Amino acid sequence: MEKELCTIAEKLKDVPEGYCINIRHPLGSADIVKTASSKSVPERARLKSETFELYPGIELSFHCWLADHFHIRHCHGVSVLSIDHCRVGRIGWEMKGGLSLYFGNGDLSFHYTDKCSDSKITLPLGYYEGLSVALDLPVLQKNMPGLLGDAGVDAGNLCLKFCGDRETAALPASSRIEHIFSEVYDLPEQMKLPYLKLKCQELLMFLNMAEPPRENVLDAHYSEQVSLIREIHDRMTAQPEKRYTIDELAREYLINTAALKSIFKSVYGMPVAAYMKHYRIMKAAGMLRNSDESIASVARAVGYESQSKFSAAFKDIMKILPTDYRRQYN
């Protein structure tokens, strides 16, 4: 997680804090349109998106975002389907109608863009890198690229298959999804446009053959439930030295334990216990780097009364003992 965060920060080194940079490559033109805006961007956020118009009715956008949350506004209509892939990080869309969908590394999501025309994006880990493919259905029906037409791809049928009458849908990470997307993020500049055209067609042919999953489905949750889970998360992370039980939190926040565990995992990508173990160790790592406190004191500050248990947990996450980790930074 720490390595991913550093990689995202490096990719955004040309973006000032509080700014969003958008780069667009129009179809059939060598011109590049670049805009920068601070409107509605949180003070510490850094956001960057680059969009390639690949075919009439199909565009692909890369997103690299460093923020806790921000609002997004656009003017796409009801007939545009967005297919989103997460490379690293975790993202939550709070859509119109009160639903929130969270997904993470390797997952693929679908939604009609009128549902997110004025929505809140939350990044539970503080960063996100991914891409989105926007399909303008009426335009695409009249201008289907040759290979897709030969393969019998029907954009309207794709929408019905994966969304139907739902506002959002998602496919969990799989080896096939990974195969399609693994090579598209770090292409040489001169190869981007032709390669992205090929990969976009491969994605749509894959979706044309794929069936919506019946198990391990990524469910949308009501935004009120998600807000409650974020309150619980903030409570636990504000006091890492205190160990709350699921039953205790469920009683206090008036939510049943199964829902608490399920929605927490949807939002943060891990079960509660695993997430808090990782959070405590990452906080401890920062204290070991930046303070002279004893290892026993650091252990207590993140909820470990036993130094030996702390050392074992630290090594499990960081692959190194805390004494050796501190020595690297002294």
- Both 6 and 149 in one domain: the answer is yes
Answer whether residue 214 is part of any domain: no
- Both 189 and 242 in one domain: the answer is no
Nearest to 268 by CA among 105, 156, 97: 105
Answer whether residue 291 is part of any domain: yes
Residue 114 is predicted with a pLDDT of 65
The count of structural domains within the chain is 2
pTM above 0.85, yes or no: no
Q: How far is CA 253 from CA 32, 190, 228, 230, 267, in A?
A: 50, 54, 8, 11, 17
- Both 289 and 166 in one domain: the answer is no
Separation CA 93–CA 35 (nearest Å): 24
- Both 146 and 230 in one domain: the answer is no
Which domain CATH number covers 74? 2.60.120.10
As beta bridge partners, residue 59 has 53, 134
- Both 44 and 156 in one domain: the answer is yes
Answer whether residue 267 is part of any domain: yes
Residue 233 is predicted with a pLDDT of 95
Residue 177 is predicted with a pLDDT of 86
Answer whether residue 217 is part of any domain: no
Residue 251 is predicted with a pLDDT of 95
Q: What is the full per-residue pLDDT of the chain (330 aa) written as tens digits?
A: 678 888 999 999 999 999 999 999 999 888 999 999 998 899 999 999 999 999 999 999 999 999 999 987 766 556 788 899 999 999 988 876 677 788 888 888 888 776 555 678 889 999 999 999 999 988 888 888 888 888 888 877 887 777 766 667 777 888 888 888 888 998 888 889 999 999 999 988 988 888 776 655 566 677 788 889 999 999 999 999 999 999 999 999 999 999 999 999 988 989 999 999 999 999 999 999 999 999 999 999 999 999 999 999 999 999 999 999 999 887
166, 188, 209: which is the final residue of a domain? 209
Separation CA 239–CA 241 (nearest Å): 5
- Both 62 and 204 in one domain: the answer is yes
Range of the domain at 261: 222-329
Separation CA 110–CA 101 (nearest Å): 10
- Both 79 and 159 in one domain: the answer is yes
- Both 190 and 257 in one domain: the answer is no
Residue 10 is predicted with a pLDDT of 92
- Both 173 and 27 in one domain: the answer is yes
Answer whether 98's CB lies under 8 Å from 119's CB: no
Residue 100 is predicted with a pLDDT of 77
- Both 176 and 242 in one domain: the answer is no
Residue 153 is predicted with a pLDDT of 86
Long-range contacts of the stretch 252-260 (C-beta < 8 A, 24+)? 253/228, 255/225, 255/228, 259/225, 260/229, 260/232
Compute, in degrees rounded to 10, the torsion defined by CA atoms 229, 230, 232, 235. 180
Residue 280 is predicted with a pLDDT of 96
Which domain CATH number covers 246? 1.10.10.60
